[in-house]
Amino acid sequence: ELVFRTDNLTKVYQTGEVKVFALAGVDLELFSGELAVLLGPSGSGKSTLLNILGGLDHATDGRVWFHDLELTDLGDRGLTRFRRDHVGFVFQFYNLVPSLTARENVQLVTDVARDPMTPEEALERVGLSHRLDHFPAQLSGGEQQRVAIARAVAKRPEVLLCDEPTGALDSKTGIQVLEVLKHLNEELGTSTVVITHAAEIRKMAHRVIWFQDGRIANTEINDERLEPA
């Protein structure tokens, strides 16, 4: 079953006379439960795609579907509802509230979600049961990112979108964070898209998509279930 499909997805940024095609016609299918990774040089369109899939940004042209819901038909209110109901985000910087503990940071989400995990379960799933009452400043960078991941999955989103989750971490810690994402993808079946420069993710991902100049330059499939018939 498809979770996302795009057709000729295009995003143009215009600054004065200059037009930049951040996405220059992307056709993509992502299956439910997949772990997909986006690779490619800086400026090739990876974040732009992730932001449109997550309903953070509007396309200029082309179409995007989440199951049968056409995101490119929605206005800002519809996109807000889509994000709230279906999407968890993880970014390079953790954006934790410094005055709240790990548990309280996750609770900000579980208090308002429809069918959340407990904060304790979410933090247990990222290996932080021993850090529930620590404040962000008492945690390492990798631990802070794991709190941010727990916060993102605590509402049981169908989709988890991660933009450079390893960008601020050393490579060993970055790999641990990617392993947490892989583990959550397997345990919860969350469809996951990750932008990272950490090459190790290629072995963990079901699908690796290379971007170049706003286009998909190559795709590698590591799971026979995803092979086109």
**C-alpha to C-alpha distance for 115 and 78, rounded to whole angstroms:** 20
Distance CA 147, CA 131 (A): 9
Identify residues 30-49 at the interface with ligand ADP (CB under 6 A): 40, 42-48
Using CB under 6 A as the binding rule, whether residue 17 contacts ligand ADP is answered as: no
Quick one: which of 117, 143, 142 has its CA closest to 130?
143
User: Could you tell me how many residues of this chain bind ligand ADP (CB under 6 A)?
Assistant: 22
* Closest CB to ligand ADP among residues 90, 102: 90
CB atoms within 10 A of CB 153: 26
Give the β-pairing of 159-163 and 87-90. Answer: parallel
Tell me the window of 14-22, 26-34, 89-97, 106-114 that interacts with ligand ADP (CB under 6 A): 14-22
Cβ partners under 8 Å of residue 112, min gap 6: none
Site for ligand ADP, residues 123 to 142, rule: CB under 6 A = none
**Per-residue interface string for the shown chain with ligand ADP, residues 190-219, x marking contact by CB under 6 A:** ---------------------x--------
- Chain residues binding ligand ADP by CB under 6 A are 13, 15, 20, 22, 40, 42-48, 69, 74-78, 81-82, 85, 211
